[in-house]
Amino acid sequence: MGCAAVTVSPRLENLVTWDSDWSGLRVAVTGIGVSGFAAADTLIELGARVVVVDAATSDTAKASADTLKIVGAADVLLGEEAVTRIPRIDGELPELIVTSPGWRPDQALLAAAARAHIPVWGDVELAWRVRRREGRKTADWLAITGTNGKTTTVGLTESMLRAAGLKAIAVGNVGKPILDAIREPVEYDVFAVELSSFQLHWAESLSPLASVCLNVAEDHVDWHGSYDSYLADKAKVYERTQKACLYNAEQFETERMVENADVVEGCRAIGFTTVTPAISMLGVVEGLLVDRAFIEERRDSAAELAAMADLGPIAPRHMVANALAAAGLVRAYGVDAAAVRQGIRDYVPGDHRIQPVARHEGVLWVNDSKATNPHAAAASLAAFTNVVWIAGGLSKGVTYDDLVREQAHRLKAVVLIGTDSTELAGALQRHAPDVPVIAAAPGETEEVQTAAAEGATGTRFPLSGEQVMSQAVATAAQLAGSGDTVLMAPAAASMDQFSSYAHRGNTFIEAVRGLVEGQAKTGEE
């Protein structure tokens, strides 16, 4: 999904600080969600002439539109028609488009912009350009991307930095828009910046102090057009890195990305591994997380950073890798080993990430709704044996053969959710034919006998996500025995039956609690 080459005007080239001359610049902002709103609000504050477009017509979108109009937007256009063509500002085409990260390059308006040679920036590119402001401290950026583990690693990085006494905040794809953090009155020392492949696609001038691509696996192929394009956008995290490019030594693709990156002179390549590290790497030795990269005597010794036990009661391999990546980033910044350990201990994992929900009658129930692709689900499954696996959902164009082939020996049974789990079911049939597979519901519907008229033959009604998950949990309970783990790691997105992965995870938690409480009451009776 490449874009046509654009010629950047001298004016745009010179917009590299908050104090540059943004006044009167004609800018179209696509999207009125969290990122788009922050971009539009920032540009209005800078004095640009801003028009915002979005296909949404919800009450939330209308409220955001009203706010932007009050603070000075030239116009806000909502509805499907608004996003089919480039909007005009004062009768002229915009000089720049700032897009929300989810907008695909082949979306009609953005494709038209490419044909018209109008530059397109993402919100992160805009943030990088306005990060420096006269009379204020400029925060350093530690940039984090990867198919999985981004949010955990960003959180660990933030925790380690704060343990070192630094003013640090996690921003970007993690939740708070980076533009909002830049405009806060707090003068931060460091930003731990989570970057999605979408955000990196629209970024051209970032130069982080240190960067990492945690891992890569097939994901978002529908957005990028191909896996190679996805990898190319992920690799942009390393471009212009100043001090250290962290790579996953157990995944050669990330090392190749570093080798091919155009970095600042003197920038180091630092590997991380979940086994014994070589020189200039971080790794694990006898249950300890160690550093052989950021110490003088690295040729023949290592510095202890933390113990595996510091990561909590469940420390799967990918969690160890995330902690080592975060440690590498903050060590590149200059944080000492004691703060790394304290940061790990202080960190509270987010919900829906290998989250123990209950242990009942010898069965461990675990919620990993954040495992929205096969790579994440594989990492989750690898942490357990004898698994009753609840999986399925919106596949995003990926395949499941490698996942099932590698993890089949862990599976006791599989309970399928999702409106269409054909691909996953097929992979299970091919690579785990002896594992029982049960559908929690027949697609998205169930047969419901109508009582409207005599002789009615029945009507198909949608099952709610709550109903689907309740069925899945009840089925899993029948299949699991003492010593087993019921793991909800769907390997797919949630939007076919739930509003988000969090909604899916919370639904699972409620269903498990209802099951446990119901069985407890039955026992009492």
Quick one: which H or E segment has residue 159?
helix 150-163
Annotated binding residue at 350? no
The CATH number given to 132-346 is 3.40.1190.10
* Domain range list for the chain: 19-118, 132-346, 355-448+456-517
* Model confidence band, residue 375 (pLDDT cutoffs 50, 70, 90): confident
Tokens of residue 518, six digits: 């119901």
pLDDT tens digits, 345-361: 999 877 777 888 899 99
Residue 450: predicted pLDDT? 29
The yes-or-no verdict on residue 519 having pLDDT over 70 is no
Strands (E), 67-189: 75-78, 96-99, 120-122, 140-145, 168-172
- Other Cβ atoms less than 10 A from the Cβ of 226: the count is 10
User: Helix 317-333 to helix 337-346 angle, to the nearest 10 degrees?
Assistant: 140
Q: What is the pLDDT averaged over residues 251-280? A: 97
Q: Is 147 annotated as a binding residue?
A: yes
Those residues with Cβ within 8 angstroms of residue 333's Cβ, 6 or more apart along the chain or in another chain: 140, 142, 161, 190, 209, 210, 243
Portion of the chain with pLDDT greater than 90, in percent: 73
Mean pLDDT of 284-303: 93
**Which of 390-399, 424-433, 438-447, 463-472 has the lowest average pLDDT?**
438-447
Tell me if 148 is assigned to a ligand binding site.
yes
- Average pLDDT on 516-522 reads 68
Mean pLDDT, residues 90-96 taken together: 95
pLDDT at 520: 54
Encoded tokens for 229: 């394009």
Q: What's the CATH number of domain 19-118, 3.40.50.1110, 1.10.1270.20, 3.50.50.60, 3.40.50.620? A: 3.50.50.60
Domain 355-448+456-517 belongs to what topology?
Answer: Protein-Tyrosine Phosphatase; Chain A (3.90.190)
Residue 57 among known ligand-binding residues: no
- Over range 141-153, report the average pLDDT: 93
- Output the pLDDT for position 300: 86
51-60, 78-87, 115-124, 173-182: lowest mean pLDDT where?
A: 173-182
Question: Mean pLDDT across the chain, nearest whole number?
Answer: 90
Q: Which residue has the higher pLDDT, 10 or 84?
A: 84
Confidence of residue 204 (pLDDT cuts 50, 70, 90): very high
| Joined tokens for residue 449 | 């006998």
Please indicate if the annotation marks 385 as binding a ligand.
no
- Does residue 451 have a pLDDT over 90? no
* End-to-end Cα separation, the chain, in angstroms: 63
Query: 2 labelled as ligand-binding?
Result: no
Flag whether 146 is marked binding.
yes
Provide φ and ψ at 444, rounded to 5°: -105, 10
